[in-house]
Chains A and B, each alone.
Chain A
Amino acid sequence: MNLMANILLNVIISFLVGSVLLGLQRKVMARIQMRPGPPIIQHLLHTFKFFLKESAFPKTAAMPFYIAITAMLCVIWVAAVIVGPVTEGSLLLFFAIYAIHKIVEHNAGSSSGSPYGKLSCVRAVFSAAAEVPLFAVLIIIYLKTGTMILSNIVTYQNQHGALLLSIPLAALMFFVLILSKSPYSPFAITKGKDIVSGYETEHFGLLRGYLMFSESIAWYMLLWIFLTVFIGGLNPVGYLIGMVVITAFVAFINALTPILNPNHSVMTQVTLAFIGIVGSVILLLY
């Protein structure tokens, strides 16, 4: 297939599947909380709807940075699609993409000029300090498989079995990272309802739709990486089932857990990272 067509197809699939999965998450959460909840396609419909809504740019916004930062989020997750499903490249690039995602959260908040955005911007730095150590999972994967290249990790798993079974604590660390990025998560301090919508508060209308587009791709990609790195060798149906199961599980956790305050959130993540790193090293040694 033509490379550009392949990239476009993967971007469209990741957006559509990611949107529906985020809708599914809200639906599962609602049912657990004894509410009917919105339709599963609501996230997708909202994304399209926001593109047509009346938009105005706040006077306090730092233009053109206020708009450019939303494009940056899309750039990094389109890059993730290329590194992931299209080329099966290096996991290190995902680390870079995730780090930039945290910077985008920070700068989207600060560029808006809103106090809620600014508070979220400070929290993004807080949470980055906790989430980046969780990415030490990459070192453990490297120590176990001897490679950072996704296609080689899949080949390794075909020969030695799923990494989920051999380095379960590393999988747990990555799962916490996925959980941190899900809406209504106990670790979602950058979007805590105490600060309205956090760094997205002043990004409404078209820009909100644009952010939601990127977030759908981000959600799909995080699940895709988890399934590829820790189970490996799945066909499209396997990926879909895996993504639905993880999303439902995340929804279950989010429905039953309040959003932690920033200090507790960071300490919980750091503690889990510490347990994951030390435990995985011990498991690798024995």
Chain B
Amino acid sequence: MDKLKAVSWFIFVISVASILYALIINPPNWIVYAISIVFIPLSILSFGLLSMARGKKEEEEDKRKEPFIGY
């Protein structure tokens, strides 16, 4: 498992756990606001990083090349 995938899994689990905590435990309002503002976006981003398709290792370098370097 590469670094990006490991970090994404970590953030995703923390985010979902925090959202579930706010849903079930019902903490003070300011904590719920903080969880919503930070962890709703992070949960979606980390989910995306996990769900996105990854190209072949040997092709990845070509895809990352920016054709306009030097402008």
Contact = CB atoms under 8 A, between A and B. Distances in A.
Interface of A: 2-5, 7-8, 11, 51-60, 67, 70-71, 74-75, 78-79, 82, 113-115, 202, 205-207, 209-210, 213
Interface string B9-32: 000000000010011001001001
29 contacts: A2-B23, A4-B22, A4-B23, A4-B32, A4-B35, A5-B23, A7-B40, A8-B23, A8-B36, A51-B51, A52-B52, A54-B55, A55-B53, A56-B60, A57-B64, A58-B64, A67-B45, A71-B41, A74-B40, A74-B44, A75-B37, A78-B36, A78-B41, A82-B37, A206-B52, A209-B48, A210-B44, A210-B48, A213-B44
B45 A53 contact: no
A56 B55 contact: yes
Leading 5 A-B pairs by shortest Cβ distance? A74-B41, A4-B22, A54-B53, A206-B52, A60-B66
Q: Is the interface of A mostly helix, strand, loop or mixed?
A: helix
Nearest to B36: A7
Contacts of A213: 44
Contacts of B68: 114-115
A116 B63 CA distance: 18
Nearest to A58: B66
Nearest to A112: B66
B19 A8 contact: yes
Interface residues of B, number: 32
Given A51-B52, A79-B37, A115 B19 contact: no
Interface of B: 19, 22-23, 26, 29, 32-33, 35-38, 40-42, 44-45, 47-49, 51-55, 60, 63-66, 68-69, 71
B70 to A, nearest CB: 10
B5 to A, nearest CB: 13
A5 B25 CA distance: 12
Contacts of A4: 19, 22-23, 26, 32, 35-36
B60 to A, nearest CB: 6
A59 B33 CA distance: 36
A70 B45 contact: yes
B61 to A, nearest CB: 9
A75 B40 CA distance: 8
Contacts of A2: 23, 26
A71 B45 contact: yes
B52 to A, nearest CB: 4
A255 B52 CA distance: 34
